[in-house]
């Protein structure tokens, strides 16, 4: 299951790049060589690679546009009230060469337009904006700083119907997972 969650996070991270790549016209074939080379096996796309498991957090890398992307993620330990048919609830921190401390919450359902999500870390409230099935930190650096100091996160989200949802996440192991992704993807 850990591998499938890594793959799910990886696919969510690269979906825009895949859509762009599919929208481009195919490349023109190269001119034939004077002496054809033997056919090579097709290259396998590089999938996510685990860095390690750090208590309640997992760290991994993947390739995105030829660049290494590093991310740490955890699943919600509890969610209330129960929402039938809800997918995985995952909190992710991503480090890219062009962007640091991108924090996202995968809700497991589609948010209503302009829904607001608040993550409470101890006494710090962090505002997130939503887009489809995800919520994103307005200030990723502030979120990471709060995560490094905290022990637990309570994410409050509007549900599709009924009372608001509260998802609980552990920060046990976050500091080590964050250090691992910062080392694997240092700022440029």
Residue 29 has pLDDT above 80, yes or no: no
Residue 51 has pLDDT above 90, yes or no: yes
Q: What is the pLDDT at residue 46?
A: 60
pLDDT in tens, 76-135: 999 999 998 899 999 999 999 889 999 999 999 999 999 999 999 999 999 999 999 999
Domains and CATH numbers, the chain: 2-22+47-184 (2.60.40.1880)
Better-scored residue on pLDDT, 85 or 30: 85
Q: What is the pLDDT at residue 162?
A: 81
**Parallel/antiparallel/unpaired status of strands 99-106 and 116-121:** unpaired
Residue 26 has pLDDT above 70, yes or no: no
User: What value does the mean pLDDT take over residues 179-185?
Assistant: 96
| H helix or E strand, kind and range, residue 67 | strand 67-75
Would you say 180 and 168 are in contact if contact means Cβ atoms under 8 Å apart? no
- Name which of 45, 76, 69 is nearest 154 in CA terms: 76
User: What value does the mean pLDDT take over residues 11-35?
Assistant: 36
Q: How many residues does the chain have?
A: 188
- Name which of 74, 93, 155, 91 is nearest 119 in CA terms: 155
Residue 74 has pLDDT above 50, yes or no: yes
Residue 44 has pLDDT above 60, yes or no: no
């Amino acid at each position: 299951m850990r591998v499938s969650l890594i793959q799910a996070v990886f696919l969510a991270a690269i979906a825009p790049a895949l859509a762009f790549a599919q929208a481009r016209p195919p490349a023109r074939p190269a001119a034939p060589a004077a002496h054809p080379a033997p056919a090579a096996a097709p290259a396998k796309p590089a999938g996510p690679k685990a860095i390690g498991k750090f208590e309640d957090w997992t760290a991994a890398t993947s390739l995105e546009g030829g660049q290494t992307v590093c991310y740490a993620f955890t699943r919600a330990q509890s969610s209330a009230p129960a929402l039938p048919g809800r997918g995985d609830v995952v909190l992710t921190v991503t480090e890219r060469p062009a962007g640091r401390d991108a924090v996202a919450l995968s809700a497991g359902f589609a948010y209503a337009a302009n829904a607001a999500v608040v993550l409470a870390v101890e006494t710090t409230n962090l505002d997130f904006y939503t887009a489809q099935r995800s919520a994103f930190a307005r200030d990723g650096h502030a979120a990471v700083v709060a995560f490094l100091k905290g022990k637990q996160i309570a994410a409050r989200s509007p549900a599709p119907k009924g009372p608001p949802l509260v998802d609980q996440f552990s920060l046990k192991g976050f500091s080590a997972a964050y250090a691992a992704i910062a080392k694997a993807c240092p700022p440029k």
